[in-house]
């Protein structure tokens, strides 16, 4: 499984755009990139998944450069309720795939 | 839909005691998973199942057993609890197929303390 590296923590202010970058230098050809969000005392929640270029949904955008060695989760106009831990995961979409959750990035949104 | 539910929400055990955690999902998902999360850490996969009657080991399976007798239920057992098993346990489920295993739906967690 590809190892991922992301910042331990980030601070932002309400209304700002937040970009969290994840490095995955040894990503394999059949690996996908997935991001989860976890609030305190809750289970993680799927945010977005991509393979290459750009993916956008109602919550976030995911930017993946051509070499796929990194990815950036973009949260537009964050609010206090976006304060959470964000996990970047990389792995193949196989049956019973084991997802590896690293330490994640602790995002603190301030008023 | 209730989604993924876990029973109990909290439990305190003495060393050596046994217990079973129950996970139930009403989304007709094929895949189910058990994770543990220690304070300030990411989740680690204990066991998983790709269908009724099948189970497989994850990253940290020692000290745990699982069973998937019904598609909607996934049980996690601790035969002889140890303080090192103090953690928050999360159950998850997902659809099969190319995207399924990455888009997992998690339960609210069970906070277990072993003294």
- CB < 8 Å to A96, chain B: 31, 48, 50, 56, 101
Confidence label for B2 from pLDDT (cuts 50, 70 and 90): confident
Q: Rounded mean pLDDT of chain B? A: 93
What does R_g of chain B's alpha carbons equal in angstroms?
A: 13
pLDDT at A96: 56
Pull the structure tokens for residue A35: 């991001």
Q: Do A95 and B96 touch (CB under 8 A)?
A: yes
Q: What does the pLDDT profile of chain A (111 residues) look like in tens digits?
A: 668 999 999 999 999 999 999 999 999 898 889 999 999 989 999 999 999 999 999 999 999 999 999 999 999 999 999 999 999 998 877 655 567 788 899 999 999
pLDDT at B97: 65
Interface contact A41, partner B, CB < 8 A: yes
Interface contact B100, partner A, CB < 8 A: yes
pLDDT at B42: 86
What are the helix and strand counts (H, E) for chain B? Answer: 0, 11
Interface contact A99, partner B, CB < 8 A: yes
Segment B68-86 shows an average pLDDT of 96
Q: Do B50 and A95 touch (CB under 8 A)?
A: yes
Confidence label for B32 from pLDDT (cuts 50, 70 and 90): very high
A90, β-bridge pairs: A33
Here the contacts of A1-4 (C-beta below 8 Å, separation 24 or greater) are A1/A90, A1/A91, A1/A98, A1/A100, A2/A26, A2/A27, A2/A28, A2/A31, A2/A90, A2/A91, A4/A88, A4/A89, A4/A90, A4/A100, A4/A102
Pull the structure tokens for residue A63: 């930017």
Q: Do A44 and B98 touch (CB under 8 A)?
A: no
């Amino acid at each position: 499984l590809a190892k991922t590296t992301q910042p331990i923590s980030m601070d932002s202010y309400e209304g700002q755009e937040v970009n969290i970058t994840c490095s995955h230098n040894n990503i394999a050809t059949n690996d996908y990139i997935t991001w989860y969000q976890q609030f305190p005392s809750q289970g993680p929640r799927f945010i977005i998944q991509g393979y290459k270029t750009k993916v956008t949904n109602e919550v976030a955008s995911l930017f993946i450069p051509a070499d796929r060695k990194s990815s950036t989760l973009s949260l537009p106009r964050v609010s206090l309720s976006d304060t959470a831990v964000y996990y970047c995961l990389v792995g193949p979409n196989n049956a019973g795939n084991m997802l590896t959750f690293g330490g994640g990035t602790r995002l603190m949104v301030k008023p | 839909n209730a989604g993924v539910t876990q029973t109990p929400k909290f439990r305190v055990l003495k060393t050596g005691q046994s217990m079973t955690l129950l996970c139930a999902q009403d989304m007709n998902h094929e895949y189910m998973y058990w994770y543990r999360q220690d304070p300030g850490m990411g989740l680690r996969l204990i066991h998983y199942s790709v269908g009724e009657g099948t189970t497989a080991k994850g990253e940290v399976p020692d000290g745990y057993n699982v069973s998937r007798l019904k598609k909607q239920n996934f049980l996690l057992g601790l035969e002889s609890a140890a303080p090192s098993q103090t953690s928050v346990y999360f159950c998850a489920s997902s659809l099969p197929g190319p995207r399924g295993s990455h888009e997992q739906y998690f339960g609210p967690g069970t906070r277990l303390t072993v003294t």
